[in-house]
Chains A and B, each alone.
Chain A
């Protein structure tokens, strides 16, 4: 077996020399925040807001009482909190600095934009290098900018929702993000506008010891519909990198938001992300989440079902190989009657990899006619692989039904034998089996992503078994 640390997305495993105009240095203090605010040209209220959040961050405890052990190694002093060329993104790839442009070209972003996207936001370390959206959407009143621009140009829409779905004091990492955020998208889709093609964000970490704290707010007004996709990669370094984004979704009456993530960070990245959506009456929020990379991921996309008949769904795939802990899952809070939610999570543990499902489903007091269905399935590839399931379900009252089923299994040896007898290598056979295991979930991803996903899984199997 190959002993070298596995690097999955071979296309992401490269780096460009550092060439920053702004560098806030290591650690997060009031001075760092002043530096960030000056570099971004932010108003005083935001400066104060960030400093208040920093205070909270310093006061709040780490969630050691429930979080996986690995989080104890996170050392906030050893990250760099702001690295950028400047806070103004380009609207054309031609204006993007050469090294960044080459990076995104190698990752296939401009190509995808031409092929099937309605708009792209490409973030490089702390700032967005490029944002653009098709012209017809602009005419329909769709807003798609980075968070800095969103707060500047569209404060009247952004600010009322900013930190409302995920408040500053929600937990230590939300306080951290509120203090240090930079980059991420602000999207507003007006009443009744339905986007036929997805919007995409690409998060790229290039520099060593980087802390990336993107901030995304998506508001779908009444009856609006959109799909948003994010991809993430970083080069492998010896030192740790921190990615701690906050994503807030607001689906107003009858709106529909689908948020797709394919996370493929290198294994030196701590991926500690908070994602939560608020679904009002008859609205629907779906998180389609795929975690392939990062050494430690903690990520539990949530939907707060705030309006009658709101629907929430999380579809989650995670893959953990040696040196990885994927602590992923979902949260569903039924805060209105007749709300329904669905969670389907599948994980694959390879080598000494560990995949954990952690979930919370809550039906609040007095809520009638709520339904949740949760299914978690784990596949163990090697005898030393590990999987865990930690659901927490709270049901109030006798008018709601909540159901959770989980199973753990291995690839059927008989099936492998059958396939090998027909001439497939063990790795190919295993890859077929794994693809079969997650097949129904891969279909939930947009076509271009699902092709990529399958390719990555094939690579993974060849590397760990072949």
Chain B
């Protein structure tokens, strides 16, 4: 190990210790990776995910050397943001314990390069959204930690840019304290080449209000795993997604709304417009634990099909083990409504523009609900 010239013994000792911890952590990640099974076709959480193609390519990319560049927009909120460091043992443990939906092995790959990313500890209301951004042309694996203190109102916007053939494997841990309000808008985009993204999000709601929106565009392949865990009565958790998918796009979204505590509400609305030979998979699950009585939980997946080559797989699941639960889910996939189209045409709007307006309006419904 090379120590800087003018370092004191204490500093050198601390640095050596940190490095030892990091090595141990890397070793632990490796063990976890070796133990975890790579996603395969018998794994129900990858039922339509074609893991034999995508997950393997992913693992291969992350085994190679990385070439990541990132940018961060601080706006007016420097005081809330710190850089994540590789030796932050607590946060590494947090990430280690993140629930995945069938991607344990892939998360372990991500943990091996733990250290990129940001920590947001928000103790005061934000006037404007805190903006974070990450981009890559090869491979990046940023982690974001957002913690909102009791009673604080905050907004965060995260952008991931998968340029050219860039792969981003991002994790996001969100913790919202009692009475806090948080809105997180995640925009992931590619330039239409072969950008791919995997986004694992864990929301822990301790009695606050959370709204989370994901939007994807211009990407070849996306896997989203969003787990919302609800720990306190009075919590409100809202999950949204709004996506326009074109030629060759594959979107594979998996969500869980886990009600550990009763007396809370969760609501999910995931909408897609599919064109070309796009494929969208939505596999959602509402789990209401034994004793989590008086839960209100909703889940809805809507798909607007614009092309005869598009495919939708929708698996909206419920598991209810408690009493006095109001719970429903719905899934609808179909073509554009003929009457809506006729109405727009009858006002002189040409067919192409009418299609665009209706498709945008279809997605807007989710975005507007996110905005509240």
Direct A–B touching in the complex (beta carbon < 8 Å)?
yes
Q: Which residues of chain A have a CB within 8 Å of any CB of chain B? A: 65-66, 365-366, 368, 378, 380, 382-410
**Quick check: is B313 within 8 A (CB to CB) of the other chain?**
yes
Task: Say whether, besides A384-B290, A406-B328, A397 and B309 are in contact (CB < 8 Å).
Answer: yes
Given A65-B43, A380-B323, A392-B47, CB of A408 within 8 Å of CB of B309: no
Selected contact of A406 from candidates B48, B314, B330, CB within 8 Å = B330
Complex interface: chain B residues within 8 A of A403 (CB): 330-334
Residue of A nearest to B309 (CB): A397
Cβ < 8 Å to A, chain B residues 24-57: 42-44, 47-48
Q: Does B315 contact A (CB under 8 A)?
A: yes
C-alpha spacing A397/B320, complex, angstroms: 33
Bound-state Cα–Cα, A383 to B331, Å = 27
Give the residue of B311, B327, B336 whose beta carbon is less than 8 angstroms from that of A395. B311
CB distance from B43 to the nearest CB of A (A): 7
- Known A-B contacts A383-B322, A406-B329, A409-B326; A388 and B305 likewise in contact (beta carbons under 8 Å): no
Say how far B333's CB is from chain A's closest CB, in angstroms: 4
- The smallest C-beta distance from B355 to any residue of chain A, in angstroms, reads 11
Task: Find B321's partner among A386, A394, A407 (CB 8 Å cutoff).
Answer: A386
CB of A402 within 8 A of CB of B311, answer: no
Say whether, besides A383-B322, A399-B335, A392 and B308 are in contact (CB < 8 Å).
no
The residues of B that contact A366 with a CB separation of less than 8 Å are 308
- Residues of B280-333 at the interface with A, using a CB-CB cut-off of 8 Å, are 290-291, 293, 303, 305-333
Task: Evaluate contact between B318 and A405: CB separation under 8 angstroms.
Answer: no
Most A CB contacts (10 A, CB to CB) among B290, B315, B333, B335 go to B333
Residue contact A393 to B318, C-beta cutoff 8 Å: no
Given contacts A384-B290, A404-B314, contact A393 B323 (CB under 8 A): no
Decide: A397 near B310, CB < 8 A? Known: A391-B315, A392-B315, A402-B334: yes
- 24 A-B pairs within 8 Å (CB atoms) are namely A378-B318, A388-B317, A388-B318, A388-B319, A390-B317, A391-B315, A391-B331, A393-B314, A393-B333, A398-B305, A400-B334, A401-B332, A401-B335, A402-B332, A402-B334, A403-B330, A403-B333, A404-B314, A404-B330, A404-B332, A405-B330, A408-B325, A410-B323, A410-B325
Contacts from B to A (Cβ < 8 Å): 42-44, 47-48, 290-291, 293, 303, 305-336
Give Cα A404–Cα B308 distance, bound, in whole angstroms.
21
A391 and B315 alpha carbons, distance in the complex (Å): 5
| Interface pairs A-B: 10 shortest CB-CB | A401-B334, A383-B323, A398-B305, A389-B318, A408-B327, A397-B308, A393-B314, A407-B328, A404-B331, A395-B333
Residues of B within 8 A of A398 (CB): 305-308, 310, 335-336
Q: Which residues of chain A have C-beta atoms less than 8 A from B44's C-beta?
A: 65-66
Chain A hits for B290, CB < 8 A: 384
Known: A399-B308, A403-B331. A386 touches B314 (CB 8 A): no
Q: Are A406 and B318 in contact (CB under 8 A)?
A: yes
Q: Are A405 and B293 within 8 A (Cβ)? A: no
* CA A383 to CA B291, docked complex, whole Å: 8
CB-based nearest A residue for B318? A389
CA distance A365 to B277 in the complex (A): 11
B285 to chain A, nearest CB (A): 9
On chain A, the residues within 8 Å of B327 by CB distance are 407-408
Question: Chain B nearest CB: distance from A413 CB in Å?
Answer: 9
Residues of A within 8 A of B321 (CB): 384, 386
Given contacts A401-B332, A405-B329, 12 further A-B pairs with CB under 8 A are A380-B320, A383-B323, A391-B317, A391-B331, A393-B313, A393-B314, A395-B314, A396-B310, A403-B330, A403-B332, A407-B328, A408-B328
Which residues from chain B contact A393 at a C-beta distance below 8 Å? 312-315, 331, 333
A339 vs chain B, min Cβ distance (A): 15
**Complex alpha-carbon distance, A399 and B322, angstroms:** 39
Please tell me if the beta carbons of A395 and B305 are within 8 angstroms of each other in the complex.
yes
- The residue in A388, A395, A397, A403 that gathers the most chain B C-beta atoms within 10 A of its C-beta is A395
Could you say which residues of chain B place their CB within 8 Å of the CB of A404?
Answer: 314, 316, 329-332
Cα of A66 to Cα of B320 in the assembled complex, Å: 18
Q: Assess whether A410 is in contact with B324, with CB atoms less than 8 Å apart.
A: yes
B249 CB to closest chain A CB, in angstroms? 15
Q: Which residues of B contact A382 (CB under 8 A)?
A: 323
Docked Cα-Cα span, A368 to B305, in Å, equals 12
Residues of B within 8 A of A390 (CB): 315, 317
Find chain A residues with CB under 8 A from B309 CB: 396-397
Known A-B contacts A66-B44, A383-B323; A394 and B311 likewise in contact (beta carbons under 8 Å): yes
B42 proximity list for chain A (CB < 8 A): 65
Complex-state Cα separation, A382 to B318, whole angstroms? 18
The closest CB in chain B to the CB of A357 belongs to: B318
Q: Which residues of the partner chain B approach A65 to less than 8 Å between Cβ atoms?
A: 42-44
Question: Which residues from chain B contact A410 at a C-beta distance below 8 Å?
Answer: 323-325
A162 shortest CB reach to chain B, Å: 30
Question: Are A408 and B312 in touch, CB under 8 angstroms?
Answer: no
- Find the B residue at minimum CB distance from A396: B311
Name the residue on A nearest B303 (C-beta). Answer: A395
Bound together, the chains give a CA A389 to CA B329 distance in angstroms of: 9
- State the CA gap A372–B247 with chains docked (Å): 26
| Closest-CB distance, B47 to chain A (whole angstroms) | 7
- Assuming A393-B314, A395-B312, A397-B309, is B320 touching A408 (CB within 8 A)? yes
Contacts of A408 in B (CB 8 A): 318, 320, 325-328
Question: Complex Cα distance A168/B184, Å?
Answer: 52
